Amino acid sequence: MQTNYDVLIIGSGVAGLTCALHLADHLHVAIIAKSQLSEGSTFYAQGGIAAVLDKKDTLASHIEDTRIAGAGLCHSDTVAHVVKKGKSAIHWLIEQGVAFSVAEHDFPYHLTKEGGHSHRRVIHAADTTGKEVESNLEKKVRQHPHIHVFEQHIAIDLITSHKLYKRQDTPNYCIGAYILNTNNDTIITFQARCTVLATGGASKVYLYTSNPDTSTGDGIAMAWRAGCRVANMEFNQFHPTCLYHPKAKSFLISEAVRGEGGKLLLPDGSPFMSKFDPRAELAPRDIVARAIDHEMKRLGSSNVLLDISFKGKAFIQKHFPNIYQRCLTFGFDITQEAIPVVPAAHYTCGGIMSDLHAQTDIQYLYAIGETAFSGLHGANRMASNSILECLVFAKTAAEHILQHLHLNTTEHIIPSWDASRVTDSDEEVVVSHNWDELRRFMWDYVGIVRTNKRLARAKRRIDLLLHEIDDYYGNFYITSDLLELRNLATVADLIIQSAQQRKESRGLHYTLDYSSTVEDSRYDTVLTPHNFT
């Protein structure tokens, strides 16, 4: 089966939906969603969106805060591009019906302050900002006659001119993608004049993560296999505070809790963050996560505590209604007691290399949001810059597509997916076993604190897994679990390779063998694929 669209968008978070809405008045757009349209990292984002909205704040201040958090690796042109468009991006969301929390005093909206920010500039919808944004954009998308949504569909691989025509002496350009419909296990050929990757990050490569199950690095892995460079994959952000409870799967305790005065405490109730950074709880996430990791290992403790109870019940219920209710379901009344928390993998700062128009190395292929490496985050993402990046680059990509799509008039005859030489697997336990092994050794060896020996162990294991997965992939019918495992293994290898290349500690990459930051190492870790598969 084959279908044709002007633009194929793979991913349905804020980046993908925003791009679709900016395009759909002029073009026919298809959106591929792995699960339900709203199921992704955006929906679960709690904190908010950073933008200069207060007259006391300045663009220069937001730019400088981002640069400092990025530990010297932020691209100045990207930072300026994103920050300057922050206010208009927020106004666009308000036009779409997003209801942000209202302030009690002068400015109409309540702004909070999070780690790394020197001003209150994080606009939010209580503590469910992502849900508010995603729900409103989803409503608009479903109502638009030129947007076609394909839920329960997962991308297998991109279709490029180099692959299709088996020649590499001409520029490589994207023609579409093969997509698996998981409702009936059929594979559809989506041909598109432009393709946009908005697939999110890869934090499910780690055993403990704040991300939903969809965050398996699909876009990064597909782009790598198609011939795109990736950069800075060693910088994996670990959110300092996820709820520690055996049944609280991936439940994040927003950084806004610390922004409003929440204190991190040892199990005996004593504070500890001031020992690690003068900004204490408001230090950037990499510092806070390492401090918590250090104290847990020093004490042999399974968690630390986060206390906001001193703010009072009325304040907590108003500012953190979702966190309050969810914690109650697990037996914690945060108005009366501290919350047990642990760090968890949260955000992929590296990704597919893209320019200021969101273009990748492959013509007619764009990457936006967490799957992309735009240069905004450097070695560490500052809190609440992520949705801002999605909004800005989704619009930027849409504008570039509208201006240049007329240049792509080539028609292609694309062969259907060939599954004639594969069979049903009677050993699907291999997939689940490899999935578990991968996430465990990534957590143990390529986590918050690294060493050369740990990375070498991880590299040996990933090489074996990649060979095993490739053999399995070539012999049996594909499933969504196999596709995600294949993508996670690819991304894990990219993370390990990148971490081995960086001979210093910087931002989110901390290694005991090179514990200091080297001034001469202000460069991006760029990986270039040698073979396109």
**What CATH number does the domain containing 401 carry?**
3.50.50.60
User: What CATH number does residue 464 fall under?
Assistant: 1.20.58.100
In this structure, the answer to whether residues 222 and 244 fall within a common structural domain is no
What span, in angstroms and rounded, lies between the C-alpha atoms of 20 and 136?
Answer: 14
Is 258 domain-assigned? yes
Write the CB contacts of 460 (distance below 8 Å, at least 6 apart in sequence).
none
User: What CATH number does residue 316 fall under?
Assistant: 3.90.700.10
Confidence (pTM): 0.92
In this structure, the answer to whether residues 286 and 433 fall within a common structural domain is no
Going through 396-485 in order, the beta strands assigned E by DSSP cover: none
Is 423 domain-assigned? no
In this structure, the answer to whether residues 248 and 337 fall within a common structural domain is yes
Is 530 domain-assigned? no
pLDDT along the chain (533 residues), means of 10: 95 97 98 93 87 95 96 97 98 97 84 89 92 96 98 97 87 96 96 97 92 94 98 95 84 88 96 95 88 91 95 93 93 96 94 98 97 97 94 98 89 87 81 92 94 97 95 91 96 98 96 95 94 50
Token duo for residue 134: 């995603």
Query: What is residue 248's predicted lDDT score, i.e. its pLDDT?
Result: 78
Q: Which of 153, 73, 48 is nearest to 350 (CA)?
A: 73
Burial of 312 (0-12, 13-18, 19+ CB in 10 A): exposed
| 3 state DSSP class of 312 | coil
In this structure, the answer to whether residues 212 and 314 fall within a common structural domain is no
| 3 state DSSP class of 124 | coil
Rounded to whole angstroms, what are the CA distances from 279 to 164, 275, 295, 347, 394? 54, 10, 17, 22, 33
Range of the domain at 173: 2-234+349-407
Q: Determine contact, residues 309/115, Cβ cutoff 8 Å.
A: no
In this structure, the answer to whether residues 258 and 371 fall within a common structural domain is no
Is 421 domain-assigned? no
Q: Determine contact, residues 397/20, Cβ cutoff 8 Å.
A: no
In this structure, the answer to whether residues 217 and 136 fall within a common structural domain is yes
Write the CB contacts of 186 (distance below 8 Å, at least 6 apart in sequence).
1, 180
In this structure, the answer to whether residues 133 and 173 fall within a common structural domain is yes
Is 294 domain-assigned? yes
What percent of the residues of the chain are helix, what percent strand, and what percent coil, each to the nearest 5?
A: 40, 20, 40
Q: Is 225 a catalytic residue?
A: no
Query: What is residue 531's predicted lDDT score, i.e. its pLDDT?
Result: 58
Residue that terminates a domain, selected from 305, 324, 346: 346
In this structure, the answer to whether residues 17 and 166 fall within a common structural domain is yes
In this structure, the answer to whether residues 305 and 448 fall within a common structural domain is no
User: What's at 283, amino acid-wise?
Assistant: A
Give the containing element (helix H, strand E) for 137. helix 129-143
Write the CB contacts of 98 (distance below 8 Å, at least 6 apart in sequence).
125, 132, 133, 136
In this structure, the answer to whether residues 60 and 156 fall within a common structural domain is yes
What span, in angstroms and rounded, lies between the C-alpha atoms of 55 and 61?
Answer: 12
Token duo for residue 75: 């691209």
Q: How many structural domains compose the chain?
A: 3
Query: What is residue 488's predicted lDDT score, i.e. its pLDDT?
Result: 97
Q: Which residues pair with 160 in a beta bridge?
A: 174
In this structure, the answer to whether residues 108 and 163 fall within a common structural domain is yes
Q: Determine contact, residues 381/209, Cβ cutoff 8 Å.
A: no
Query: What is residue 533's predicted lDDT score, i.e. its pLDDT?
Result: 42
Is 528 domain-assigned? no
| 3 state DSSP class of 302 | coil
Residue that terminates a domain, selected from 299, 320, 346: 346
Residue that terminates a domain, selected from 346, 372, 388: 346
In this structure, the answer to whether residues 7 and 141 fall within a common structural domain is yes
Is 415 domain-assigned? no
Q: Which of 193, 225, 258, 285 is the catalytic position?
A: 285
Q: Which residues pair with 177 in a beta bridge?
A: 158, 190
Task: For strands 153-160 and 174-181, give the pairing.
Answer: antiparallel
Write the CB contacts of 64 (distance below 8 Å, at least 6 apart in sequence).
118
User: What's at 333, amino acid-wise?
Assistant: D
Is 402 domain-assigned? yes
